[in-house]
Each structure stands twice: as C-alpha cells, then as structure tokens.
Structure 1
Amino acid sequence: MAAVVFIVIVFAAASSGAIFKPGEWYERLDKPSWTPPKWAFPVVWTILYLFIGYAGWLVWTTAGWSLPMAIWTLQIIVNALWSYFFFGMRRMDLALVDVAVLWLSVAFFILAAWPVAPLASLLFVPYLVWVSAAAALNYSVRRLNPEA
C-alpha cells in the first residue's frame, strides 16, 4: 500500500511539468548553448521520478515518519512548484529561489537518509546532479533574458 502512495505522490509532482509546459514563451527566450535537447527533459525526469519515489518508499519502510521523510516531503513539494513558477507564472526569479531550495533539500535528504537507507541516498545523487544543471540553466536563461 505504501508503494502506491509514493507512486501517486510522485505522479502528482511530475504532473506539474505536464500542466505548466514550456510553450512559445520559453521557445522565444535566449538560452545558453549547453541547454539540453528537448527530448532529454522527459527522459531524465522519468528516471529521476522513479528514483525519487523508490527512495522515499525505502526511507518510509525503514524509518517511517522521520527527518529524512520530512525532507523528502519538502523536496517533492518544492520540485512540483518549479514548473509553476517558471512556466506558469513566468517568474524565473521565483523559480531560481525554488530550485535553490530544491537543491538544498535534495542534498540534505542525501545526508539525512544515509544512516537510515543508504540506497535511498545514492538514488538521490543523480537527482542532485540534474538539479544542479537545472539551477545553472535557470540562472543562465534569466541572465540572458532580463526583460522576460
């Protein structure tokens, strides 16, 4: 039953990206040359969401409601908000704050989950790498488009 709950939570967070899509506004923005191709985002995020859900389930089944679980909950909420801020509100500044909080919550989860479920921590390492790239991209797009 707990696995189903984590699937639903992760699906709900992932739905944010489907609801608040890049669209024409994003296409018109200047982007750095190192921007990943469009196809990479759904592929990478699908894998990451599987890791995120499994990591949360591992911590839950090992430690229940605990500090790592609280951090996991924070990161999934902050994760879901990014698309709303960036694409929905078109507020790259708020999205940048959001992605900084996301980065910190992912890093803190890695540290907090290690004693409870080391595999859960390891599953978050690629997530931290991707969020680092996303933060750099968010920052770069904002710098290249100060009027947007």
Structure 2
Amino acid sequence: MKKSYYIVYPAVAVGVGALSGLITRQSVKEVFPLLEKPPLSPPAAVFPIVWTALYILMGVGLAAVKNKGGPGVKRAERLWWVQLAVNFAWTLVFFLAGAYFVALLVLLLLFGLAAAMTAAFDRVDRPAARLQAPYLIWLAFAAYLNAGIWLLNR
C-alpha cells in the first residue's frame, strides 16, 4: 500500500481546480455576477468549497483503487485523468469563452466520463466508487445551472 497516493492524487485534483480558478478568476469576479441565473443557484462562495471537497474525494477514490490493485486499475486511472482534463476544459469554455451552450455539451461529456470512471472504480474497489456519488450529483446540478444560464442569457 502506498499511503502517498492519498496525498498525491487529491493534491493533483485540487491543484487542477486551483489552476482553473486562477485562470478564470477575473471572469468569475466580473462576468459571472452579471449573468441571469436559474432558481436554486447557490451563492458564489459555495462553489470553491464544494469543488475542493469533490476534488479531494476524486483523488482519494483513485488512491484507493490504485492501492487495491488488480485488473481494471489502468482503465480507472485513465478515465480519472481524462475526466479531470475535461473538468478543467469546462471551466475555460464556460468562464473564459462564455460559450454556455458548448460548455453544457462539455459538461454532459464530463458527466458521462465521471460515470464511466465511477463504474471502473466500482469494478476494483466499491468504496472508492461510492466516494464519487457526490461528484455525479454535483455534475447533474451543474448541468442544470449551466443550462439555465445558457437559456437565460442568450
């Protein structure tokens, strides 16, 4: 068992999230507050808290899968990296490009990848897969918010 995985992978995921936040900081501060938002939109302060928790769960899940070992680990890890890259891309498309419909399509792709990652985790380590449930729920909610912003701001 490599305990370092429980530090490295959450740190990588949080780092990717922090980098996307840094890159989009100005747009988040200047443009996002001006957008019409759908009902149930949380305050802006909620997003970094939720995303940090989700990135940690994502990283802990991969650490558990890698520590468990066996068939399916490589596929699970590949899906983890791909969905993390698409997660990063969504932030740029939504906040920097302001392409809300395209961002919604990227988010739907991300949801599919996260679901596939969760299924791959489940084949190796069920508790690791269960840690991804909040991520999938949040992505579904994010799709609602993204769709609402697109529809309200066309």
**What TM-score do you get using the length of structure 1 for normalisation?**
0.90
Query: What's the Cα RMSD here?
Result: 1.6
Asked if the contact 2:76/2:117 (under 8 Å) is kept, the reply is yes
What are structure 2's unaligned runs of at least 5 residues?
none
Map 1:1-148; keep pairs closer than 5 Å. Answer: 1-15=4-18, 16-21=20-25, 22-63=28-69, 65-146=73-154
Percent of matched pairs sharing the same residue: 31
Q: Distance in 2 between matches of 1:115 and 1:33?
A: 37
Asked if the contact 2:86/2:110 (under 8 Å) is kept, the reply is yes
Q: Which whole-Å deviations, capped at 9, do the CAs of 1:91-143 have from their partners, x for residues lacking one?
A: 11221121111100111112121120111100100000000000110011000
What are structure 1's unaligned runs of at least 5 residues?
none
CA apart distance, 1:4:
4.3
The amino acid across from 2:123 in the alignment is P
Residue 35 of structure 1 aligns to a residue in which SS?
Answer: coil
CA apart distance, 1:7:
3.6
| Count of residue pairs brought into register by the alignment | 146
Moved more, 16-25 or 114-123: 16-25
